[in-house]
Structure 1
Amino acid sequence: MKSTKLWAAIIVLSVLMSSCKKEPKATAVSTDDINTFLTSHPNFKPYSKDLTALYQEHNEHFIWYDGDDRNTLSDVLYDKASQIQTEGVLVPLPYQEEYDKLFSKDKGAKPENDLLLSAMYCFYAKKVIAGIDSKQSKRLGWYLPRERVSYVDYLEELMKDPDLVKKDDDENISLYYNLRKGLQRYRQMKKSGMTVDAQGVSIDQRIKTIVVNMERCRWLSPDAIDVPEYIAVNIPSYKMRYVRDGKTALESNVVVGDEANRTVVFSGKMSYLVFSPYWNIPESIVEKEINPAIEKDPDYLEKHNMEWQGKHLRQRPGGDNSLGLIKFMFPNSNNIYLHDTPAKSLFKKEDRALSHGCVRVQKARDLAVMILDDDPNWSPEKVDEAMHSGEETQYPLKRKIPVYIAYFTATADENGNVEFFDDVYQRDNKLASLLYKL
Structure 2
Amino acid sequence: MEVCYILGVRKTKIFLKLITFFTLISIVGSISSCKNKQKKKVILADESVYSAENFTHLTVDSLEIADFFKTFEASDSIKNEVLEFYKRRNFQFAWINKDGLTHAAPDFYVQLQNFSDDFQDNSLKNHTLDSLLAEAESDSKSFLKQKDPMHNLELLLTSTFFKFADKAYTGTTKDPIDLEWFIPRKKKNYQILLDSLVSAKQTNRVQEPVNQYYIALKEKLRQYREIQKKGGFPKIITTQKPLNTGDRDSLVQSLNDYLVLTGDLKQRDTSSVFSDSLSVAIKRFQQRMGLKETGKINAATLSELNIPIEARIKQMMINMERLRWAPVELENNYLMVNIPEFKLHIFENKKLSWDMSVVVGKAATKTSIFRGDLSMVVLNPYWNVPTSIIQNEIMPKLQNGISYLSKNDMEVLSGNKVIDPSTVDWTKYANSIPPYNFRQRPGNKNSLGKIKFLFPNSYSIYLHDTPSKGLFNESARAFSHGCIRLSEPRKLALYLLRNNPNWSSEKVDEILEKDEENFIKLKPALPVYIVYFTTWVSSNGQLNFRKDIYGLDKKLSEEVFSEITAKKTL
Shorter chain as normaliser: what TM range? Answer: 0.7 to 0.9
Asked if 1:27 is matched to 2:59, the reply is: yes
Asked if 1:38 is matched to 2:73, the reply is: no
1:357 maps to which of 475, 478, 482: 482
Q: 2:85 is aligned with what amino acid?
A: L
Asked if 1:334 is matched to 2:439, the reply is: no
Q: 2:422 — aligned with what?
A: none
SS at match of 2:305: coil
Q: 1:424 and 1:312 mapped to 2: Cα distance?
A: 32
Moved more, 389-398 or 37-46: 37-46
Q: 1:36 to 1:162 in 2, by over 3 A?
A: closer
Q: 2:97 — aligned with what?
A: 66
**TM-fit CA distance, 1:176:** 1.6
State whether residues 64 and 70 of structure 1, in contact with CA within 8 Å, keep that contact through their aligned partners in structure 2. yes
Q: 1:232 and 1:400 mapped to 2: Cα distance?
A: 14
Q: 1:64 is aligned with what amino acid?
A: W
Asked if 1:299 is matched to 2:330, the reply is: no
Q: 2:548 — aligned with what?
A: 423
1:128 maps to which of 145, 150, 168: 168
Q: 2:309 — aligned with what?
A: 203
State whether residues 173 and 414 of structure 1, in contact with CA within 8 Å, keep that contact through their aligned partners in structure 2. no
State whether residues 254 and 361 of structure 1, in contact with CA within 8 Å, keep that contact through their aligned partners in structure 2. yes
Q: 2:482 is aligned with what amino acid?
A: G
**TM-fit CA distance, 1:46:** 5.8
Q: 1:415 to 1:286 in 2, by over 3 A?
A: closer
Q: 1:174 — aligned with what?
A: 212
**TM-fit CA distance, 1:326:** 0.7
Q: 1:84 — aligned with what?
A: 115
Q: 1:268 and 1:414 mapped to 2: Cα distance?
A: 23
1:275 maps to which of 372, 376, 379: 379
Q: 2:323 — aligned with what?
A: 217
Q: 1:75 and 1:222 mapped to 2: Cα distance?
A: 26
2:177 maps to which of 129, 135, 138: 138
State whether residues 81 and 93 of structure 1, in contact with CA within 8 Å, keep that contact through their aligned partners in structure 2. no
Q: 1:374 and 1:306 mapped to 2: Cα distance?
A: 35
- 1:120-163 alpha-carbon deviations (Å, 9 max, x no partner): 21122222222224x5222111111222112224556x59x979
Q: 1:296 and 1:243 mapped to 2: Cα distance?
A: 49
State whether residues 179 and 411 of structure 1, in contact with CA within 8 Å, keep that contact through their aligned partners in structure 2. yes
State whether residues 213 and 323 of structure 2, in contact with CA within 8 Å, keep that contact through their aligned partners in structure 1. yes
Moved more, 92-101 or 43-52: 43-52
Q: 2:124 is aligned with what amino acid?
A: P
State whether residues 82 and 96 of structure 1, in contact with CA within 8 Å, keep that contact through their aligned partners in structure 2. no
Q: Which has the larger radius of gyration?
A: 2
Q: 1:180 to 1:95 in 2, by over 3 A?
A: closer
Q: 1:414 to 1:19 in 2, by over 3 A?
A: farther
Q: 1:28 is aligned with what amino acid?
A: V
Q: 1:402 to 1:168 in 2, by over 3 A?
A: same
Q: 1:221 is aligned with what amino acid?
A: P
Q: 2:349 is aligned with what amino acid?
A: D
Q: 1:349 to 1:297 in 2, by over 3 A?
A: farther
Taking structure 1 as the reference length, the TM-score comes to 0.86
**TM-fit CA distance, 1:186:** 1.6
Moved more, 396-405 or 414-423: 414-423
State whether residues 448 and 464 of structure 2, in contact with CA within 8 Å, keep that contact through their aligned partners in structure 1. yes
Asked if 1:319 is matched to 2:444, the reply is: yes
Q: 1:236 to 1:21 in 2, by over 3 A?
A: farther
Could you tell me the percent identity over the aligned residues? 34
Which consecutive unaligned segments of at least 5 residues does structure 2 have?
1-45, 137-142, 236-257, 259-303, 415-435, 565-570
Q: 2:200 and 2:513 mapped to 1: Cα distance?
A: 57
Q: 1:137 and 1:242 mapped to 2: Cα distance?
A: 26
CA RMSD of aligned residues (A): 3.0
Q: 1:433 to 1:36 in 2, by over 3 A?
A: farther
Q: 1:258 to 1:291 in 2, by over 3 A?
A: same
Q: 1:347 to 1:434 in 2, by over 3 A?
A: same
Q: 2:192 and 2:206 mapped to 1: Cα distance?
A: 22
State whether residues 180 and 416 of structure 1, in contact with CA within 8 Å, keep that contact through their aligned partners in structure 2. no
**TM-fit CA distance, 1:62:** 2.2
Taking structure 2 as the reference length, the TM-score comes to 0.67
Q: 1:18 to 1:219 in 2, by over 3 A?
A: farther
State whether residues 383 and 441 of structure 2, in contact with CA within 8 Å, keep that contact through their aligned partners in structure 1. yes
- 1:73-115 alpha-carbon deviations (Å, 9 max, x no partner): 21100111122135x4342253432222112102445332111
Q: 2:194 and 2:207 mapped to 1: Cα distance?
A: 19
1:288 maps to which of 392, 414, 424: 392
**TM-fit CA distance, 1:360:** 0.7
SS at match of 2:372: strand
Q: 1:85 and 1:351 mapped to 2: Cα distance?
A: 36
Q: 1:120 is aligned with what amino acid?
A: T
Q: How does 1:369-380 map to 2 (within 5 A)?
A: 369-380=494-505
State whether residues 280 and 313 of structure 1, in contact with CA within 8 Å, keep that contact through their aligned partners in structure 2. yes
Q: 2:378 and 2:346 mapped to 1: Cα distance?
A: 18
State whether residues 183 and 207 of structure 1, in contact with CA within 8 Å, keep that contact through their aligned partners in structure 2. yes
**TM-fit CA distance, 1:72:** 2.8
Q: 2:335 and 2:349 mapped to 1: Cα distance?
A: 12
Q: 1:97 is aligned with what amino acid?
A: H
Q: 2:382 is aligned with what amino acid?
A: Y
Q: 1:68 to 1:244 in 2, by over 3 A?
A: closer
